[in-house]
Amino acid sequence: MKKLITFAILFSVLIFMGMLDFFPWWSFSVPMFVLGATLPFKKWNISSFVWGFISGFMAWFLSTIYFEIIYEGEIMSSVAKLMSLHIYLLHLIIGLIGGVLTGLGVYSGYLFRNGREVLELQLTKSE
């Protein structure tokens, strides 16, 4: 039954990801929240924010490089000139923003699922 529920959630996330063209740029955080709530980060012994940050940074950074190659650098160089930045610094900034937002989305989902346990652990340590 758990596998069926996991499949249904992941399928819904994939459908939502396909519809991102119709939503604002930040709407990718919603599927990341769902993944953070469903993936077993405790069993993997991985920090959910770091996992989300790394995957988000790589996705956004590599996608900007991909679009620069596809559009022959016209769009990214125009944006870089508009912001008075070097184009590689613009790639890095876009990657960092995407990484932070993805990490926060995954971490929020993780806290939504396990928030009470995390809060109880912090309370017992401080006493």
For the chain, domain boundaries? 54-127
Q: What is the pLDDT of residues 65-116, one digit of tens each?
A: 888 888 888 888 888 899 999 999 999 999 999 899 989 998 888 888 877 6
**pTM for the whole structure:** 0.71
Residue-level pLDDT at 13: 64
Choice between 102 and 118, residue whose per-residue pLDDT is larger: 102
Dihedral, 66, 49, 21, 60 alpha carbons, nearest 10: -10
> What is the distance between the alpha carbons of residues 47 and 28, in angstroms, rounded to a whole number?
20
- Taking the C-alpha atoms of residue 52 and residue 40, their distance in angstroms, rounded to an integer, is 13
